[in-house]
Amino acid sequence: KVCYISPSTITLQRAVIHWKEQSQHDLLCFVINPKFILKIQFNSFSRSSIYSPFPHRYVYLMGIQERNERLFYRVLMEDIEELMPIVYTPTVGLACTQYGHIFRRPKGLFISIRDRGHVRSILDNWPETNVAAVVVTDGERILGLGDLGVYGMGIPVGKLCLYTACAGIRPERCLPVAIDVGTDNETLLKDPLYMGLYQKRDRSQAYDDLIDEFMEAVVEKYGQDTLIQFEDFGNHNAFRFLRKYREKYCTFNDDIQGTASVALAGLLAAQRAIGKPITEHRVLFLGAGEAALGIANLIVMAMMETGMTQADARKRIWMYDKHGLLVKVCVCETDSNQEAFVHDSPGSVQSFLDAVNTIKPTAIIGVSGAGRLFTHDVLKSMGTLNERPIIFALSNPTTKAECTAEDAYTLTDGRCLFASGSPFGPVTLSDGRVITPGQGNNAYIFPGVALAVILSGVRHISDTVFLEAAKTLAEQLTDKELEEGRLYPPLSNIREVSVQMAVKVVEYVYAKGMAFRYPEPVDKNAFVRATVWDTNYDSFLPDTYDWPGVSFTPKTDSK
Indicate the annotated binding residues for (S)-malate.
141, 396, 441
Let me know if 354 is exposed, middle or buried by CB neighbors in 10 A (0-12, 13-18, 19+): middle
DSSP secondary structure code for residue 195 in this structure: -
Please say whether the beta carbons of 270 and 390 come within 8 A. Answer: yes
DSSP secondary structure code for residue 343 in this structure: B
Length of the chain: 559
Report CA dihedral (183, 185, 190, 193) to the nearest 10 degrees: -60
| 20 flagged as catalytic | no
Residue 146 Cα to chain centre, angstroms: 18
Q: What pairs with residue 178 in β-bridges?
A: 110, 137
What Å distances lie between residue 433 and 95, 269, 428, 486, CA to CA? 35, 21, 6, 14
Please say whether the beta carbons of 57 and 32 come within 8 A. Answer: no
| 88 flagged as catalytic | yes
DSSP secondary structure code for residue 200 in this structure: P
Buried b (16+ CB within 10 A) or exposed e, 443-471: bbbbbbbbbbbbbbbbbbbbbebbbbbbb
Q: What share of the chain is helix, strand, coil (3-state, %, to 5)?
A: 50, 10, 40
DSSP secondary structure code for residue 327 in this structure: B
Amino acid at 5: I
Spatial distance between the Cα atoms of 238 and 232, rounded to a whole number of angstroms: 8
Please say whether the beta carbons of 143 and 94 come within 8 A. Answer: no
Catalytic residue (choose from 88, 163, 194, 508): 88
Catalytic residue (choose from 159, 400, 504, 524): 159
Binding residues: 141, 231-232, 255, 396, 441
Active site residues: 88, 159
